[in-house]
Amino acid sequence: MQATALMQQGILVELTADIALTAAKLGLAHKLPLADSIILASAQHYGAMVWTQDADFEGLAGVRYLRKEPT
């Protein structure tokens, strides 16, 4: 329930041609999977910070990468 409540606080953003082109460039430059490059391009477009535990984002500008703790 808490996760659902947090997700409802977000906003839905459109994948524009400009964001898609930026995503393609970022994907090639950083060898990112498609979804990751779209997330990063969208964040850059809207001036947002990406907070993630996805190691594909480690070291990228505009990203706060938090390493997963072993369970």
The model's pLDDT over 30-60, given as tens digits with 9 standing for 90+, comes to 999 999 999 999 999 999 999 999 999 999 9
> What residue has token string 């459109």?
14
* Selection from 55, 26, 58 nearest residue 39 by Cα: 26
* Summary mean pLDDT of the chain: 94
Is this structure's pTM higher than 0.75?
Answer: yes
Alpha carbons 57 and 30: distance in angstroms, whole number: 9
Q: Domain count of the chain? A: 1
Domain of 52, in residue numbers? 16-65
Name the token pair of 2. Answer: 């808490």
Is the residue at 31 inside a domain?
yes
Of residues 34 and 1, which shows the higher confidence score? Answer: 34
What pLDDT score was predicted for residue 49? 97
Does the residue 51 lie in any domain? yes
